[in-house]
Amino acid sequence: MRPIIVQENDNQEEVITQRLADLLNFSIQEIQEQYCDDTLPWVIGFSGGKDSTAVLQLVFTAISGLPVEKRVKEIHVLSNDTLVENPKVIEYLDRQLDLIRATGKTRLFAHNPALFHVVKTVPKLEDTFWLNLIGKGYPSPNRWFRWCTERMKINPTSDYILKTVNKHGKAIILLGTRKDESANRAASMKQYELEGVRLRKHTLPNAFVFAPIADMTNKQVWAYLTQNPNPWGGDNQELVRLYYSAFDIQECPLVIDTTTPSCGNSRFGCWTCTVVDKDKSMTGMILNGEEWMRPLLKFRDKLKDIRDKEEYREKRRRSGQDGIGPFTIETRKEILEELLTIQEQIYPKIQTQLISIQELSAIQVQWHYDGKFQYSVAEIYQRITGRSLMLSEYSSLERRQEEFALLESISEQNDVQANHIKELLELERVNFGHLRRSTIFANMEQKIRRFIKENDDATKDGFSFSLPQ
Ligand code: SF4
């Protein structure tokens, strides 16, 4: 029988403790039953926040209570890193993932470590924040043009879940969603209920949701985490301190579909998030002593501030239509310079990079693809950091293959041939820095004419386009 739920205003400590103990016993039993019910793999969404920590902690306790011969089904602990996560949060998350992996493989599944997976997904290179903002000039995201969530959060996790579903036919996703989060949350959980079973439908085909802490309140979650040792050797007090320092006890959930509440409204989202008016968590962390984060906050505020100022934007959209367009190349260059400057400033403190070499390389490719040849990423990098961007690395076969794969995917989306763009880029590369550019334009025109002819010959269906005069 489902135990009575503790109410938020129920303050009699003994009653809370007793009812919480009943609820936890019930949840652990439910998890054990569900685990043994079928052979479908479990994908446990883990953001490092309190709710997903509570779910994973309950799962660890439940599985360790099963005899080894019943621990036969795969478990995937799934996290996502947008690559612009709050540096303090991602550092905490990475440490937890290492501990979870080690404990899961050596204790829970010592008999068959291959059953236990810990995965951190990241967006594809062409979907990263910096490639879109600095490379393509997408204006900083806001409520109406939130181009980031799908690219950076939903797609990477959905791809992983779909891969698991494809391999096994179906999968069960465990989430830390709770009815008392909000009336909307309770309603959406109800909407997806399936009759007679504890699973809910998921928007991805053949995926089902199991929410083991659906009936727990906020207070109960904290009580559970602070009164019970963390089974993978983490320190839940550190989690409390992290929430406390961020001045807020909400969290960014693992966003796996559009029904998950807006991550932009949660506290532990991307440090670059301009969907929220103010980044309260970063502000809180700074006020609590993380002074080194101040340039990050200032930079985020600037990204928000300039997005709607026409002087920072092109006069045409990327589609070629009239209207306020992407950030100008000057703005993109300025953003890149500032980002690299901040990275240099804070690196001694956090030893993590705000932008990767791969992203820098992809930005250069994107600028070239957009016909923006005024600035060189390598030159900007050298000027700001005093280090070379390892041009040899760029020209290595592996790097070039990576760049070409990216170019291919961008070209496909825009219905052009990657080989043609590659030829034009190569022409620009060998002529880069030359003052007299008339030859390169003539050569380009010659090449473009050849491409048109090749296209015409290939299609023979009247396809044509003309060169701009
Ligand atoms: S936290 Fe903000 S920037 Fe990050 S994906 Fe969500 S809405 Fe976009």
Give 86-146 as a DSSP string.
Answer: -HHHHHHHHHHHHHHHHHIIIIITTT-GGGEEEEEE---GGGSHHIIIIIS-PPPP-SS--
Rounded to the nearest whole angstrom, what is the distance from the C-alpha of residue 340 to the centroid of ligand 1? 21
Q: Does residue 255 have its Cβ closer than 6 Å to ligand 1?
A: no
Rounded to the nearest whole angstrom, what is the distance from the C-alpha of residue 85 to the centroid of ligand 1? 9
244 phi and psi angles, rounded to 5 deg: -65, -40
Q: Which residues of 412-425 are buried (b: 16+ CB within 10 A; e: fewer)?
A: eeeeeebebbbbbb
Which pTM does this prediction carry? 0.78
| pLDDT for 13 | 63
| pLDDT for 469 | 31
Q: Does residue 141 have its Cβ closer than 6 Å to ligand 1?
A: yes
Q: Which of 340, 337, 359, 311 is nearest to 132 (CA)?
A: 359
Q: Does residue 273 have its Cβ closer than 6 Å to ligand 1?
A: yes
Q: Which of 241, 181, 243, 187 is nearest to 217 (CA)?
A: 181
Q: Does residue 148 have its Cβ closer than 6 Å to ligand 1?
A: yes
Contact 427, 444 (CB under 8 A): yes
Tokens of 248: 């807020």
Rounded to the nearest whole angstrom, what is the distance from the C-alpha of residue 402 to the centroid of ligand 1? 26
Tokens of 322: 């009239």
Q: Does residue 86 have its Cβ closer than 6 Å to ligand 1?
A: no
Q: Does residue 151 have its Cβ closer than 6 Å to ligand 1?
A: no
Rounded to the nearest whole angstrom, what is the distance from the C-alpha of residue 128 to the centroid of ligand 1? 11
Q: What is the DSSP string of 316-361?
A: B-TTS-BS--SBPHHHHHHHHHHHHHHHHHHHHHH---SS-HHHHH
Residue with tokens 């899961």: 104
Q: Does residue 174 have its Cβ closer than 6 Å to ligand 1?
A: no
Contact 363, 130 (CB under 8 A): yes
Rounded to the nearest whole angstrom, what is the distance from the C-alpha of residue 269 to the centroid of ligand 1? 6
Q: How many residues does the chain have?
A: 469
| pLDDT for 257 | 55
Rounded to the nearest whole angstrom, what is the distance from the C-alpha of residue 321 to the centroid of ligand 1? 27
Rounded to the nearest whole angstrom, what is the distance from the C-alpha of residue 86 to the centroid of ligand 1? 11
Q: Whose CA is nearest to atom 5 of ligand 1?
A: 149
Contact 427, 447 (CB under 8 A): yes
| pLDDT for 394 | 46
Q: Does residue 275 have its Cβ closer than 6 Å to ligand 1?
A: yes
- Tell the CATH superfamily of the 13-239 domain: HUPs (3.40.50.620)
Q: Whose CA is nearest to atom 4 of ligand 1?
A: 270
- Residues whose CB is less than 8 angstroms from the CB of residue 416 and which lie 6 or more positions away in sequence, other chains included: none
Which residue among 131, 138, 146, 147 is best mutated to probe the pocket of ligand 1, counting the most ligand atoms within 8 A of its Cβ?
146
Tokens of 39: 């052979």
Q: Which of 272, 428, 261 is nearest to 354 (CA)?
A: 272
Boundaries of CATH 3.40.50.620 in the chain?
13-239
- Residues whose CB is less than 8 angstroms from the CB of residue 79 and which lie 6 or more positions away in sequence, other chains included: 46, 47, 48, 93, 97, 118, 119, 120, 121, 254
Give the CA radius of gyration of the chain: 26
| pLDDT for 256 | 53
pLDDT by position in tens, the chain (length 469): 455 444 555 556 666 677 889 999 999 999 999 999 999 999 999 999 999 999 999 999 999 999 999 999 999 999 999 999 999 999 999 999 999 999 999 999 999 999 999 999 999 999 999 999 999 999 999 999 999 999 999 999 999 999 999 999 999 999 999 988 878 877 777 777 777 778 988 889 999 999 999 999 998 999 999 999 999 999 999 999 888 887 654 554 455 555 544 444 445 789 999 999 988 889 989 998 999 999 999 999 999 999 999 999 999 888 878 899 999 999 999 999 999 999 999 987 777 789 999 999 999 999 988 889 889 999 999 999 999 886 444 445 556 667 777 888 888 777 788 878 877 877 776 565 455 566 777 788 888 888 887 777 765 543 333 333 3
